[in-house]
Amino acid sequence: MKEKLEQIKKEAIEQIAKSDALDALNDVRVNFLGKKGELTAVLKGMKDVAPEDRPKVGQLVNETRAEIERILEEATKKLENIKREMTMKAEVIDVTLPAKKNIVGHRHPNITTQEEVQNIFIGMGYEVIEGPEIETDYYNFEALNIPADHPAKDEQDTFYINGEYLLRTQTSGTQVHVMEKGNLPIRMIAPGRVFRSDEVDATHSPSFHQIEGLVIDKHITFADLKGTLAEFAKELFGEDTKVRFRPHHFNFTEPSAEMDVSCFKCGGAGCRFCKGTGWIEILGCGLVHPNVLKMSKIDPEEYSGFAFGIGLERIALLKYEIDDMRLLYENDVRFLKQF
C-alpha cells in the first residue's frame, strides 16, 4: 500500500510540474483528489485492509493528500502570478496621463427661462397647455379676429403649407381650442415654438418661442390683468420691479397694451441696457376682444377675460444679458456652458 501511495504522489507531482495553465492544474486535482480520483479509490479499498493496519494506512493516505495539495497550491500561486504579470504588461496604464472627464450637459437657457415662467404662473393657479405647431388658418387667424385681408396673412410673413394649413405664427390658437371646449373658467398658458418669415439677425429668427396666457371668467377687468402681470414681473425680475402699460393695438384684444418693466440693471435710472429710458418692453396684452369670445361660443355679456403674449427668447436675452439671439441656436458649447 505504501508503495502504491508513493507511486500516486510521484505521478501527481510529475503532472503538476508539466502543467502550464490553471485549467491543467485543476484537472490534476480532479484526477487525484476528486470523488473518482486515485486517492479516493485507495480510501474506498480500506475495507480490504486488516483492521489493525487501517489507522496506519489512513495516516499514509492523508499525508499523501496533504503533500499533493501543498504542491498544487504552490503551483497555482505561481501560475496566477505569471498570469497577473502578463495581464499588467498587456494593459499598461500611464498614470501620468490626465483623467478622462465626464462631460455632463445641462438645460439650455431657453428651457430654464421657460420653466421659470411656467412655474410662476402655475403658482398662480394656471394650467400649462400645449397645442399643434401645424395649425389651420382659422385657428391661427380668423378665430382671433384677424380678417382674410390682414397683412399678417401674406405669404411673405407666414409659412403656408397650403391654403388651409400653415406653421403657426403664435400660440394663441391653442387658447381658441381650449375656449371652444366650453370648460369655464379658464386660466392657462400656452408655451411653444412659432414660425414667421423673418430674416435672421441679432433680434429675429424664423423660428422662436412664445408663452401666451389666457384668463376667462366672470367680471374680469383690466385691473386683474395689471395685477397679474405686475406680480409676474416681480417674481421674474425682482421685488423692486415696476411696470407700466402703453396703449397698443392687437386684433384679438380690446383695449390692448404693451407692458414695460423698470430696468433691473439700473433700477430705472437709465443705462446702456435700457437705452437710457429706464424701461424695457417685455410683452403685449389686453382684454379678450368680444368677437373672439363669440367665435368660441362664449357669451361676452356674461364672461370676459384677458390675454398676454411673451417672447421667450426676449426674456432669456434680458435675464442672461445676451446681445445676440443667434447665440441661443448656434449650439456653441463655449457659449452654452456659461449657463
Indicate the pTM of the whole model.
0.67
Contact 242, 268 (CB under 8 A): yes
11-41: per-residue pLDDT in tens? 777 777 878 788 887 787 777 777 777 766 7
Cβ neighbours of residue 264 closer than 8 Å, sequence gap 6 or more: 237, 238, 241, 280
For residue 245, what is its C-alpha cell? 402699460
Angle, vertex CA 205, rays to CA 233 and CA 334, nearest 5: 80
**First-last CA distance in the chain:** 85
110-149: per-residue pLDDT in tens? 999 999 999 999 999 999 999 999 999 999 999 999 988 8
For residue 13, what is its C-alpha cell? 507531482
Total residues belonging to the chain:
339
Contact 312, 117 (CB under 8 A): yes
For residue 61, what is its C-alpha cell? 493516505
Contact 310, 284 (CB under 8 A): no
Rounded CA gap, 262 and 285, in Å? 17
For the ranges 46-55, 83-92, 178-187, 325-334, which has the lowest average pLDDT? 46-55
For residue 89, what is its C-alpha cell? 504588461
